[in-house]
Structure 1
Amino acid sequence: MIEAAIFDMDGLLVDSEPIWQEVAIEIFETVGVNLTIEMCQEGTGLGTADFVKLFYERFPWEGKSQEQVGQEIIERGHERIATETLPMPGAHDTVRFFHERGIPLAVASASPMEIIETVLRRLDLVQYFTLWHSAVLETRSKPHPDVYWSTIEKLKVKGPHCVAFEDSGNGLRSAHAAGMLTVAVPAPYEYDQPKFDIADIKIPTLTHFNEDIFNNLVQKLPL
């Protein structure tokens, strides 16, 4: 049986990616770096520190440290997420699907803990989750598996008997490296990219998740 369902958050449970992109573009403008939405999409699934590092290495700037730029992105993003975000299609139904079957749920996100909590409360999902964990608390963020390893350990379950839901290539690599079953839910602009081929299941939105897909995942569990 599936022992736990672990969800990414940004772009999967909550439609926050456009907000993070807007905020990143605004903050990077203050150091003279002109990001585009397409450039922001390159860093989807990375933690804020790794996202900032990615573009600092490409466009070194002066006047603000990478840490300061990252903190400004987090603070402004948190303000907007707390008041503007909406759930992704199918998020509530998929969460309730596992909850109704008595399967523990967790969030493993690259966002800071306070933002995870803000989102779960805003979407009225917090009561369904056993725990949530942030890659900010790990030495390495996604695409490394650390945040999933810690989440599995906290849940006291075995990785190969868990399913992870991810919308980004970096997140999928993280869950896959942790040895979990994976469901990829890519954004339309990258749905057909080969980086999602490592997923056990790929669906366009969480609205496509159903009993048949669940049973397919169960059949993939190790003996």
Structure 2
Amino acid sequence: MNGAQGIIFDMDGLMIDSERIINRAVVRAGREMGLSGIEEVSLRTIGTSSLRTREIYSSVYGDFDFDRLMDLKHRYIDEIIGDRGFPPKEGIREMLEYVTEKGYITAVGSSTREWAVKEFLGKIDVLKYFDIFVCGDMGLRSKPFPDIFLACAEKMDVSPGECFVLEDSPNGIRAAYAAGMKPVMIPDMIAPDEDIIPMLYALKGSLTEAMELF
């Protein structure tokens, strides 16, 4: 390892303001399909891959038309964002410019599929800050397992203990903690509970506040 420090960025809810829009679309689709309790089940899928999301929904609703739920979700998301993509979270461009200028190695570690990660980050003009992407369709176990973050560290040639992970979701924090990294939570839709708080290296209210760590 080269002794450098790395920062791994989640995407949804951390770099782009997507989680609320996605959740709103899923809840609308689920209600249309008559899925009771969809509001709570949707929150459980935040920070996980599409495969894990399918497993969570199937565990609750059994043999139901998951593909229709996803099709409706994507239709309603498109109605909201159109071709614009999801809006950037406040401070993300300033954060990325700051940490790259200071010499940190940066990576994206997301449970979302690679094509979507690059499309949405391209729309907010931050792709140029990243050379390393480890995503949910690369054959690794999804968060809360640490696989995605450990793969990021390997690609960055940085030891896990020298990696900060910026995350908004409990699933992401669990993954970072399990990887032996420094989990920094910037909550979006879900606040940390008594199980998550002991795992945190830091808890910040925004990306702008998190910059003081670096």
Q: Same fold (TM over 0.5)?
A: yes
CA separation of 1:189 and 1:143: change in aligned 2, threshold 3 A: closer
Which region of structure 1 is more displaced relative to structure 2, 107-116 or 131-140?
131-140
Q: Which amino acid aligns with 2:45?
A: G
Structure 2 equivalent of residue 164 of structure 1: 165
Structure 2 equivalent of residue 23 of structure 1: 25
Structure 1 equivalent of residue 109 of structure 2: 108
Structure 2 equivalent of residue 57 of structure 1: 59
d(CA) in 1 for partners of 2:147, 2:82: 25
Q: Which amino acid aligns with 2:84?
A: T
Structure 2 equivalent of residue 179 of structure 1: 180
Which region of structure 1 is more displaced relative to structure 2, 190-199 or 134-143?
190-199
Q: How big is the shift at 1:131?
A: 1.6
Q: Which amino acid aligns with 1:153?
A: E
SS of the residue corresponding to residue 151 of structure 1 reads: helix
d(CA) in 1 for partners of 2:183, 2:98: 16
Q: Please, what is the CA RMSD of the aligned residues?
A: 2.5
SS of the residue corresponding to residue 164 of structure 2 reads: strand
1:207 and 2:208 correspond: yes
Which region of structure 1 is more displaced relative to structure 2, 33-42 or 116-125?
33-42
Normalised by the size of structure 1, how large is the TM-score?
0.82
Give the share of equivalent positions with the same residue, in percent.
Answer: 26
Would the aligned equivalents of 1:182 and 1:201 in 2 still touch at CA under 8 Å? yes
Aligned residues: 210
Map Cα deviations across residues 23-80 of structure 1 (whole Å, 9 max, x no partner).
3234445654245444322222111221222122111244x3x4x3576378548854
Normalised by the size of structure 2, how large is the TM-score?
0.85
d(CA) in 2 for partners of 1:14, 1:117: 12
Q: How big is the shift at 1:90?
A: 1.8
Which region of structure 1 is more displaced relative to structure 2, 107-116 or 70-79?
70-79
CA separation of 1:163 and 1:189: change in aligned 2, threshold 3 A: closer
Would the aligned equivalents of 1:19 and 1:81 in 2 still touch at CA under 8 Å? no
SS of the residue corresponding to residue 23 of structure 1 reads: helix
CA separation of 1:172 and 1:4: change in aligned 2, threshold 3 A: same
Structure 1 equivalent of residue 71 of structure 2: 72
Map Cα deviations across residues 131-179 of structure 1 (whole Å, 9 max, x no partner).
2110221341000011111111111221111111011110011111111
1:136 and 2:130 correspond: no
